[in-house]
Amino acid sequence: MRLLSPSVVAAGVLAAGPALAADTLDLGVLRASDLSVVQKMLYPKVERTELGVHVGIMPLDAYLITPNLQLTLDRHLTESVSVGVIAGGGYGLKSGTYRLLESPTFSVAPYAYRYLASALGGVQWSPVYAKLNWSGAQVIHFDVYGAARAGVSVEQSVLPDASLTLAPTVSPAIGARMWLSERTTLRLEVRDDFLVERRALTQTWNLKNNANVQVGMTFFSPKPAERK
């Protein structure tokens, strides 16, 4: 087989060039403005206020069953950062374990404190905004967040003295919100309140934690463009 000369090869490449160019679609350079369109959120939070109503339960307390109501107010400074407050109230009902221990069989009433109220403030960080295709029929928009809050809690002794304590509280939390509409979300949060409380009967300081699972609805103010 004879070797092709360089001139013949060059001629073949030049002849094929227009045909290859005709089959190639040149998209050009993707600009930063194009990226902002691709990443645009359908439900933005920035410069909006979020008001929420939530019901909760403290499932890890062996002695008390504690239904509670929490009200939240958050101001979203950016898409990922917001500041807010949360105020709540509830009541600790004696569990079956507590009633068994204080019955004549054991005659031992645990020195437990029930949750009555709390007021917390802090920062919320939402690093994740995502979309979920549900069975190919619906796209669900949601975000995931973490929160760091601090404040005070009010608790009461379950014993007959019914003494009260005002406890400094630190409250980390994680949660998620799922958009139901432009201005409404379903929000789930798990938080753990760490209380430092002074107990009257023993005159001692105690560290207590109240793990709380909350679910509720939140309502957003209109977008900034809609307010103009």
**CATH (domain of 195):** 2.40.160.20
Q: How confident is the model at residue 3 (pLDDT cuts 50, 70, 90)?
A: very low
**pLDDT tens digits, one per residue of 118-172:** 999 999 999 998 888 777 777 889 899 999 999 999 999 999 989 999 999 999 9
Please indicate, yes or no, if residue 223 is contained in any of the structural domains.
yes
Please indicate, yes or no, if residue 22 is contained in any of the structural domains.
no
Predicted local confidence at residue 17, as pLDDT: 52
Q: What is the mean pLDDT of the chain?
A: 86
Write down the pTM of the prediction: 0.78
Predicted local confidence at residue 139, as pLDDT: 82
Predicted local confidence at residue 28, as pLDDT: 62
Predicted local confidence at residue 5, as pLDDT: 53
How many CB atoms are closer than 10 A to CB 208? 19
> In terms of residue numbers, what domain contains 204?
44-227
Please indicate, yes or no, if residue 136 is contained in any of the structural domains.
yes
204 — phi, psi (to 5°)? Answer: -130, 160
Cα–Cα distance measured from residue 227 to residue 49, given in angstroms and rounded to the nearest whole number? 13
Say whether pLDDT at 208 is over 80: yes
Cα–Cα distance measured from residue 4 to residue 225, given in angstroms and rounded to the nearest whole number? 68
Say whether pLDDT at 20 is over 50: no
Please indicate, yes or no, if residue 33 is contained in any of the structural domains.
no
Say whether pLDDT at 200 is over 90: no
* CA-based R_g, the chain, Å: 30
Please indicate, yes or no, if residue 53 is contained in any of the structural domains.
yes
**pLDDT tens digits, one per residue of 209-222:** 999 999 999 999 99
**How many domains in the chain?**
1
Question: What integer is the mean pLDDT of 10-26?
Answer: 51
Please indicate, yes or no, if residue 11 is contained in any of the structural domains.
no
Please indicate, yes or no, if residue 8 is contained in any of the structural domains.
no
Please indicate, yes or no, if residue 177 is contained in any of the structural domains.
yes
